[in-house]
Amino acid sequence: MSIAATARPRTPLTHNPRVRSVVYQAVLCAIIAFLAWGAISNVIENLTRTGIATGFGFWNNTAGFEISQALISYSAASTYGRAFWVGLTNTLLVAALGIVFATILGFVIGVARLSSNWLVASMAGGYVELVRNLPLLLQLLFWYNAVLKALPAVATSVALPGGGFLNNRGLYLPQPIAQDGAGIVLAACVVAVIGAIAFRFWARARQRRTGAQAPVLTTMAGLIVGLPAVALLATGFPFTFDYPEASRFNIRGGMELLPEFTALLFGLVTYTAAFIAEVVRAGILSVSKGQTEAAASLGLTSGQTMRFVVIPQAMRVIIPPLTNQYLNLTKNSSLAVAIGYPDLVQIFSGTVLNQTGQAVEVVVITMAVYLAISLVTSLLMNLYNRRVMLVDR
Amino acid sequence: MSDMAGTNDARKPFVREAPLAALPPPVRTDGVLAWLQRNLFSSPLNIGLTLVCVALLVWAVPPFVRFMLIDAVWDGASRADCLVTDARPAVGACWAFVIERINFFTYGFYPTPDRWRVDLFFLLLAVGIGWLAWLDAPARRWALVNFFVVLPIVSFILLVGWPAIGLPVVPTEQWGGILVTIVVSVVGIVFSLPLGVLLALGRRSTMPAVRLVCVVFIEFIRGVPLITILFMASLMLPLFVPDTWSPDKLLRALIGIALFASAYMAEVVRAGLQAIPRGQYEAAQALGLSYTRTMGLIVLPQALRITIPNIVNSYIALFKDTTLVFVVGIFDFLNTIEAARLDPKWSTPVTGSTGYAFAALFYFTLCMAMSRYALYMERRLDVSANR
């Protein structure tokens, strides 16, 4: 009996994979469409019943509330739209500063965990374990309520060296005020950074072409520190400081950091740094021992081994999860709402939502902002990954 | 090389003529001193670091111990017992406050005569988790069914109530404290795993519509902060359903948490699925297994097994994230601490710190236990993989 000779049996339609796949997908789409239709019709019905306005008309209405910290001009007479931008800039401010400080602290602790010094390594390990196993919200409440709010009142402010004050209303620091010629110093800073980056590119290209190395790090550091310093001296230090002055009930002048801001920044930095430390440690450990040994047998010093062999390879492992941590920090900054720092969520999903009652529009806008930040970051990450992976075999 | 040799005096190659003297034996190779020298004082830099660390410890540890234990107040009835007086110049943690409020921290406003139901729930949960986590437990196959099917139903009846069998209904507004924290976490844990598996499978599906839906859901949830999802659940969800349903406040937060946790779980499971070699799928197909059987009998058991440490880690993150229900006004453990802290009866300068210390102890113990278990599983899986 030969199998090849018999005609292929007709499979019933219900067993045809293609038909099945189409049916499944159609059913799924139908279910989603049904749910969406139900939700939308319910929303319309509920809103008309309660008489809440719909649409984005509220954007241009007067907000009528004050915001304790605004990077752009804002008053109670400004619009809800303006309040949105204030919240967004406040979120971006705390996220940007948090990322910088968390990176520095995280790298230090990550390297410390690998130290040959037992005490350093175990203290860094203890820090990471402690911080990672406590909820961020608890840490923020602790810093805000138990530490910053427990500071002395205005009348008995703690005077800091250098002319600052610390009390339960915040941290007051001297504010630099630009005089004539400050523009030149600023320009010098910009030129120095651009020059340093250009030099690095040139040095890289030359090394690839000729093999000759240039002292990249020292030159870059020299440029970035030296040029502004020269400009400062040449223009005769064009800054004066506005020192805060303490009186019995108030502190005038200077630069004020809200306790909410300080607590949020501090909490985010210490929390994220613990996660970054783990990322850094894993990255460094991922470089195989053979690489270090090969570098040693080539006669590189331990510093050179780190700089030219270990770190470039570790960075490839570190950068993707590091970006993830940056995104987490940005998203976690929304916990500001619990301690009253005026970030996007607190202003927009809090005050604006309560005043307008337009939950759908407000929550959708807030989510869209975070989603946009996340998607743009992951897009950049994918581009970076593709570039780095090309180097790999 | 050759021109260097030509420059100064050497037609002579570099050859040592007399053997070097033997090095002295190392002074200490074991014992406390050797360990100290090797690990703490091996170089000037390390000596400096060690001294800095010791200074830091001396600065931080004694005041901490004094606050938590030595100066702490263990019994008392009101704030007066935790205030600084002439007789008591230093006051540490006010544990009397925690001891007096422990029932409030555990049950919230759950009616006192019905609190045995909460205790029973805790007990059943502990047994369920123990059965699941103990790898050599008897009838372990049933532990999963128990945890993911039986336990949720029994707990629901127990906590919410069922008048027909003599358990009066307790509305969720009266729930609070550790009970709510545990309920929110367990709901997240129980729902996120099956939903996460489905989403992960959907994301790897060959059907474009299914894949698209799963990718959009996962990336959307992971791209926004949990707080905005909780806001959405608590403010927008009531608008999405007919007026008559008006879902319970706690239920809304639970839905938010479950959706959030399942998106993260989906990515964890997907990583596990990707680690299963293609040959496994192909072998299953060659045996003529259907998709459901391939996944259910061949791929998922292997994928989930190697993912257990990561699943536990994402449970730790979920457990910490449950504190955020605070923001939408759910009376969880942290929220009861805040409420008790602000209560005038116990309002002293140390009440806040004491409450936070107690909360920290609670979260730290449970998170640490979970992370140790994850580590233990990882080691065990490593061993069985290397056999």
Amino acid code (one letter) for A186? L
Question: Given A38, A133, A349, which is nearest B367 (Cβ)?
Answer: A133
For an interface test with A, which of B199, B224, B289, B363 has the most A Cβ atoms less than 10 Å from its Cβ?
A: B224
* pLDDT at residue B71 in the model: 87
Q: Could you tell me which residue, A128 or A73, shows the higher pLDDT?
A: A128
Q: Is the pLDDT of residue B26 over 80?
A: no
pLDDT bracket for residue B385 (50, 70, 90): low
The shortest CB-CB distance from A142 to any of B219, B228, B356 is to: B356
With respect to residue B81, please indicate whether it lies within any of the assigned structural domains: no
Answer yes or no: do A335 and B208 touch at CB < 8 A.
no
Lowest mean pLDDT among A327-336, B128-137, B225-234, B279-288: B128-137
8 A C-beta contact, residue A343 and residue A90 = yes
Mutate to test the interface with A, among B219, B240, B255, B375 (most CBs of A within 10 A): B240
SS (H, E, C) chain B: CHHHHHHCCCCCCCCCCCCCCCCCCCCCCCCHHHHHHHHCCCCHHHHHHHHHHHHHHHHHHHHHHHHHHHCCECCCCCHHHHCCCCCCCCCCCEHHHHHHHHHHHHHCCCCHHHHHHHHHHHHHHHHHHHHHHCCCCCCHHHHHHHHHHHHHHHHHHHHHCEHHHCECCCCHHHCCHHHHHHHHHHHHHHHHHHHHHHHHHHHCCCCHHHHHHHHHHHHHHHHCCHHHHHHHHHHHHHHHCCCCCCCCHHHHHHHHHHHHHHHHHHHHHHHHHHCCCHHHHHHHHHCCCCHHHHHHHHHHHHHHHHHHHHHHHHHHHHHHHHHHHHHHCCCEHHHHHHHHHHCHHHCCCCHHHHHHHHHHHHHHHHHHHHHHHHHHHHHHHHHHHCC
Within 8 A of B239 by CB-CB distance, chain A residues are 42-43, 46-47, 359-360
* pLDDT band (50, 70, 90) for residue B378: confident
Tell me the chain A residues in contact with residue B334 when contact means C-beta distances shorter than 8 Å: 135, 137-138, 141
Band (pLDDT 50/70/90 cuts) for residue B179 is very high
Confidence band for A49, pLDDT divided at 50, 70 and 90:
confident
Q: How far does the CA of residue B161 sit from the closest CA of chain A (Å)?
A: 30
Is B368's CB within 8 Å of A49's CB? no
Q: How many Å apart are CA B198 and CA B218, to the nearest integer?
A: 12
The set of residues, in sequence order, having a beta carbon less than 8 Å from that of A141 and lying 6+ positions away, is: A338, A339, B334, B338, B356
Among B39, B227, B323, the residue with its CB nearest the CB of A117 is: B39
B386 band by pLDDT with thresholds 50, 70 and 90: low
pLDDT at A111 over 50: yes
Tell me which chain A residue has its CA closest to the CA of residue B327. Answer: A338
B137 pLDDT band, cuts 50/70/90, is confident
Q: Are the beta carbons of A374 and B224 separated by less than 8 Å?
A: yes
Q: Are residue B66 and residue B181 in the same domain, yes or no?
A: no
Q: What percent of chain A has pLDDT over 90?
A: 36
Interface contacts A/B by beta carbons within 8 Å = 153
The contacts of residue A173 (CB under 8 Å, 6+ apart) are A163, A164, A244, A254, A255, A257
- Across the interface, whether the CB atoms of B225 and A375 are under 8 A apart is answered no
Domain-embedded: residue B150: no
One domain, residues B42 and B106 = no
Residue of B nearest to A48 (CA): B239
What share of chain B in percent tops pLDDT 90? 50
On whether both B66 and B187 belong to a single domain, the answer is no
B356 neighbourhood in chain A, CB within 8 Å: 138, 141-142, 145-146
Q: Tell which B residues from 183 to 242 touch A, by Cβ distance under 8 Å.
A: 206-210, 213, 219-220, 222-228, 231-232, 235-236, 238-242
Same domain? For B217 and B349 the reply is yes
Please check whether residues B286 and B232 belong to one and the same domain: yes
- Would the pLDDT of A103 be above 90? yes
The long-range contacts involving A243-248, CB below 8 angstroms and separated by at least 24 positions, are A243/A163, A243/A174, A244/A163, A244/A164, A244/A165, A244/A172, A244/A173, A244/A174, A246/A154, A246/A157, A246/A159, A246/A165, A248/A154, A248/A155
B309 shares its domain with B251: yes
Average pLDDT over residues B208-222: 93
In chain A, residues with a C-beta closer than 8 Å to the C-beta of B46 are 116-117
The b/e string for A55-87 (b: 16+ C-beta within 10 A; e otherwise) is eeebbeeebeeebebbeeebeeebbbebbbbbb
Note whether B320 contacts A135, CB cutoff 8 Å: yes
Task: Read off the pLDDT band of B2 (50, 70, 90).
Answer: very low
Alpha-carbon distance A163 to B93, whole Å?
34
- Lowest model confidence (mean pLDDT) among A97-101, A356-360, B290-294, B316-320: A356-360
B182 and B43 assigned to the same domain: no
pLDDT at A16: 81
Show residues of chain B in contact with A131, CB under 8 Å: none
B46/B104 same-domain check: no
Task: Examine residue B165 and state whether it is found in any structural domain, yes or no.
Answer: no
State the best of B45, B58, B203, B239 to mutate against chain A, taking most chain A CBs within 10 Å.
B239
Residues B62 and B203 placed together within one structural domain of the fold: no
Number of domains forming the structure of chain B = 2
pLDDT over 70 (residue A273):
yes
User: Which pLDDT belongs to residue B134?
Assistant: 85
**Residue B12 pLDDT more than 70?**
no
CATH code for the domain in which residue B380 is found: 1.10.3720.10
Taking residues B229-251, report their average pLDDT: 86
Residue B59 shares a structural domain with residue B179: no
Range of the domain at B44: 32-70
- Confidence class of residue B317 from pLDDT cuts 50, 70 and 90? very high
CA distance A217 to A196: 9
Cβ-defined contact of B239 to A142 (cutoff 8 Å): no
Residue A172 has pLDDT above 60, yes or no: yes
Would residue B127 count as lying in a domain? no
The share of chain B scoring above pLDDT 70, in percent, equals: 96
Give A97-140 as a DSSP string.
Answer: HHHHHHHHHHHHHHHHHT-S-HHHHHHHHHHHHHHHTS-HHHHH
Q: In terms of residues, how long is chain B? A: 387
Q: What does the pLDDT read at residue A177?
A: 81
DSSP-derived letter for residue A79 is B
Name the minimum distance, in Å, from the CA of B77 to any CA of chain A.
Answer: 22
Tens-digit pLDDT profile for residues B331-355: 999 999 999 988 888 888 888 899 9
Strand A170-173 to A164-167 pairing: antiparallel
The pTM of the full predicted model, rounded to 2 decimals, is 0.86
Using a CB-CB cut-off of 8 Å, the residues of chain B touching A136 are 320
Q: Do B236 and A360 touch (CB under 8 A)?
A: yes
Within 8 A by CB and 6+ apart from A39, the residues are: B240, B241
Residue of B nearest to A150 (CA): B349
| Residue B126: inside a domain | no
Residue of A nearest to B363 (CA): A134
pLDDT for position B1: 43
How much is the average pLDDT of A56-63? Answer: 86
Q: Does B375 touch chain A (CB under 8 A)?
A: no
Q: Determine the pLDDT at residue A60.
A: 87
Distance (Å) from the alpha carbon of B139 to chain A's nearest alpha carbon = 32
Distance CA B97, CA B341 (A): 9
B55 plus B103 within the same structural domain: no
Which of A1-15, A161-175, A278-292, B239-253 is most confident? Answer: A278-292
Judged by a CB distance cut-off of 8 A, whether residue B276 touches chain A is no
**Do B174 and B64 lie in a common domain?**
no
> What mean pLDDT is reported for chain B?
88
Q: Nearest CA to CA, how far is B164 from chain A (Å)?
A: 34
* B40, part of any domain: yes
Mutate to test the interface with A, among B199, B231, B232, B350 (most CBs of A within 10 A): B231
Sign of the alpha-carbon torsion through B41, B46, B51, B55:
negative
B157 found inside a domain = no
Mutate to test the interface with A, among B68, B228, B366, B372 (most CBs of A within 10 A): B228
> Reduced to 3 states, what is the DSSP secondary structure of residue A291?
helix
Specify the range with the lowest mean pLDDT, choosing from A5-19, B119-133, B153-167, B267-281.
A5-19
How distant is the Cα of B328 from the closest Cα of chain A, in angstroms?
Answer: 10
Residue B152 has pLDDT above 70, yes or no: yes
* Tens-place pLDDT, residues B286-314: 999 988 999 999 999 889 888 988 999 99
- A121-127 mean pLDDT: 94
- Mean pLDDT of chain A, nearest integer: 86
- What pLDDT score does A231 carry? 85
pLDDT at A52 over 90: no
For the segment A378-386, the average pLDDT, to the nearest whole number, is 83
Token pair 């506005």 is found at A242
Lowest mean pLDDT among A238-252, A340-354, B111-125, B171-185: A238-252
